[in-house]
Amino acid sequence: MTAKMAIPEQPVNSNSETCHPEITSEILTEEKKQPWVQLISTLIETIETLSDHLNDRVTNTKQIFIAVAWIIAALTSLKLSLAVLNAINTIPFLGLFLEIIGIAYVSWFICRYLLNAAHREDLALQVKSFKEQIFGTTP
């Protein structure tokens, strides 16, 4: 005798949570997370935009800071040079001695390079070659 056993069928229920509670809870939590995900992505985009904007600002103002630093360095070196010259002038006869050396050198330079036309041309060639060494050749 072969008896057939009937497998009881599960009733089809319109409520999907009772059939597959794990799947529907994942879907519901994903739907609930959507506003937060959108908020976070908007926040990340805003931070990236702000970072790019600040980076552009820094690169633009970097040149200004460098120029200001050069001006401050030049003024500081000028003040230091004036302080050294003032200290030299307070030493007796040293300032006068250095002035005499300066006058003697200027006199020698005038006699050596500026009185004769040939020497002036030689000086002009030396100045031109010096400028080419410093600034490069000009086209």
Backbone dihedral region for residue 137 (phi beyond 0: left; psi -120 to 50: alpha; all else: beta): beta
| More reliable by pLDDT, 125 or 30 | 125
| More reliable by pLDDT, 114 or 16 | 114
Per residue in 73-131, pLDDT tens?
999 999 999 999 899 888 889 888 989 999 999 999 999 988 989 999 999 999 999 99
Q: Are 53 and 61 in contact (CB under 8 A)?
A: no
Q: What is the mean pLDDT of residues 28-42?
A: 68
Q: Are 55 and 49 in contact (CB under 8 A)?
A: no
Q: What is the pLDDT of residue 88?
A: 84
Q: What is the pLDDT of residue 78?
A: 96
DSSP string, 44-100: HHHHHHHHHHHHHHHHHHHHHHHHHHHHHHHHHHHHHHHHHHHHHHHSTTHHHHHHH
Instruction: Please provide residue 128's backbone torsions phi and psi, each rounded to the nearest 5 degrees.
Output: -65, -45
The residue written with tokens 């506003």 in the block is: 35
Give the global pTM.
0.39
From the number of C-beta atoms within 10 Å of its C-beta (0-12, 13-18, 19+), residue 18 rates as exposed
